[in-house]
């Protein structure tokens, strides 16, 4: 059983898009959907991000995408804390490469990519961060703290206290290790 069952949760489109992007690297099965530029192009197309006729992503866009993914993973790992966590410098650096502009849309003002192609699609992911923050789902995006997992999930618990991607797998492993350590040390 994969350790990253998210259980049919509902959430904002922006939050789910960000979760899916971070989960392009599955540490449990050692698969990376962004292992090559064509993988990035495929993922972007599957999620409706590139404009039609966009050139295929290259190595430079792939490097930016991977840096964005890992910066988001680090930020989401920080969402387990009190709320005063620093934004990872790596994420700040990559966000500076993704140009956005304000546009007036029928739904109201919105941040939209200021360029096209794969870079514009990645800028769309950056804009999804502000959309998720605006609807309250950004702080609910978390990453499983298990070093062998790191699967992103949306914490839909009422008090935002969910820790693991799955209580049945990662949560159980952690609690079992803690129990065994207490037994070895003689503490109840």
The percent of residues in the chain predicted with pLDDT above 70, rounded, is: 74
Is 90 exceeded by the pLDDT of residue 16? yes
Cα 66–Cα 137–Cα 37 angle in degrees, nearest 5 = 20
What secondary structure letter does DSSP report for 15? H
Q: What is the mean pLDDT of residues 128-143?
A: 93
Q: Which two tokens stand for residue 78?
A: 């920080």
- Give residue 170's pLDDT: 66
Q: Are 33 and 39 in contact (CB under 8 A)?
A: yes
pLDDT at residue 143 in the model? 92
Q: Give the pLDDT score at 4.
A: 36
- Cα 165 from Cα 147, distance rounded (Å): 12
What distance in Å separates the CA atoms of residue 145 and residue 153, rounded to the nearest whole number?
11
> Under 8 Å CB-to-CB from 34, ≥6 apart: which residues?
24, 25, 40, 43, 62, 65, 66, 69
The whole model's pTM is what? Answer: 0.82
Task: Round the average pLDDT of the chain to a whole number and report it.
Answer: 83
Band of pLDDT at residue 160, cut at 50, 70 and 90: low
The domain defined by 13-185 folds into: Jann2411-like fold (1.10.3300)
Q: Where are the domains of the chain?
A: 13-185
Predicted pLDDT at 145:
86
d(CA 55, CA 74) in angstroms, rounded, equals 30
Please list, in sequence order, all residues whose beta carbon lies within 8 angstroms of the beta carbon of residue 58, skipping any fewer than 6 positions away.
Answer: 37, 118
pLDDT at residue 17 greater than cutoff 70: yes
Give, in order, the Cα–Cα distances in Å from 54 to each of 51, 84, 180: 6, 39, 54
Which of the two residues, 9 and 49, has the higher pLDDT score? Answer: 49
Whether the pLDDT of residue 85 is over 60: the answer is yes
Q: What band does 128 get if pLDDT is binned at 50, 70 and 90?
A: very high
């Amino acid at each position: 059983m994969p350790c990253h069952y998210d259980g049919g949760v509902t959430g904002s489109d922006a939050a789910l898009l960000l979760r899916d992007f971070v989960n392009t690297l599955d540490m449990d099965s050692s698969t990376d959907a962004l292992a090559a530029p064509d993988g990035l192009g495929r993922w972007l197309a599957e999620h409706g991000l590139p404009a039609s006729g966009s050139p295929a992503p290259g190595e430079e866009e792939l490097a930016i995408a991977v840096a964005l993914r890992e910066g988001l993973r680090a930020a989401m790992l920080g969402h387990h804390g009190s709320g005063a966590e620093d934004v990872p410098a790596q994420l700040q650096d990559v966000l500076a490469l993704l140009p956005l502009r304000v546009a007036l849309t029928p739904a109201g003002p919105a941040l939209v990519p200021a360029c096209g192609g794969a870079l514009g699609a990645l800028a769309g992911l950056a804009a999804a961060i502000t959309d998720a923050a605006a609807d309250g789902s950004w702080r609910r995006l978390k990453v499983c703290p298990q070093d062998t997992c790191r699967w992103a999930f949306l914490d839909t618990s009422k008090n935002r206290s969910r820790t693991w991607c799955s209580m049945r797998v990662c949560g159980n492993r952690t609690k079992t290790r803690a129990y065994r350590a207490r037994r070895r040390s003689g503490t109840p």
